[in-house]
């Protein structure tokens, strides 16, 4: 079941980023995460409830998020600011929607909803409730994005 959820989240993330920012990502080998701090500078959090209880996070490195949001907005953004935070919120909204559609066909019922966008190294440790976290690195032309589930 966990592999199904992770694969659906990977597919939804890759689809949304290819559609919005025209950026293709390569999925790297998943592994267990040991550090509770986010892997990137901007992190969007998705809550999972119902048939499972947990969260997923899309954690963007600086160069990666700047490239994606610059392409989304048609501007050359150079700084991580409120516009970046808002855009990551929209990305998380769309990934949540895509994942929710695909998870609707997978029993038990899993509710997916966007939660928050964290800036810098705000900790996610309170959101994982002591559970093991699987980290899936996604690499693209301008850097890395990490899916943490």
**Cis peptide leading into 108, omega within 30 of 0?**
yes
The structure tokens listed for 25 are 């990502």
Please write the tens of the pLDDT for every residue from 68-79.
999 999 999 999
Model-level pTM?
0.89
Are the C-beta atoms of residues 58 and 92 closer than 8 Å to each other? Answer: yes
Please write the tens of the pLDDT for every residue from 29-56.
999 998 877 789 999 999 999 888 889 9
């Amino acid at each position: 079941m966990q592999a199904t959820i992770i694969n659906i989240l990977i597919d939804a993330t890759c689809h949304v980023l290819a559609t919005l920012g025209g950026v293709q990502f390569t999925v790297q080998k998943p592994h267990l995460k040991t550090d509770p701090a986010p892997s990137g500078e901007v992190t969007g959090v998705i809550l999972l409830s119902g048939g499972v209880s947990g969260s997923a996070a899309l954690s963007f490195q600086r160069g990666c998020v700047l490239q994606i949001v610059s392409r989304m907005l048609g501007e050359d953004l150079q700084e991580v600011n409120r516009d970046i935070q808002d855009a990551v919120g929209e990305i998380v909204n769309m990934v949540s929607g895509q994942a929710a559609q695909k998870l609707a066909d997978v029993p038990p019922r899993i509710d997916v909803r966007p939660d928050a966008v964290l800036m810098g190294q705000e900790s996610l440790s309170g959101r994982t409730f002591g559970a093991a976290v699987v980290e899936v690195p996604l690499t693209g032309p301008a850097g890395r994005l990490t899916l943490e589930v």
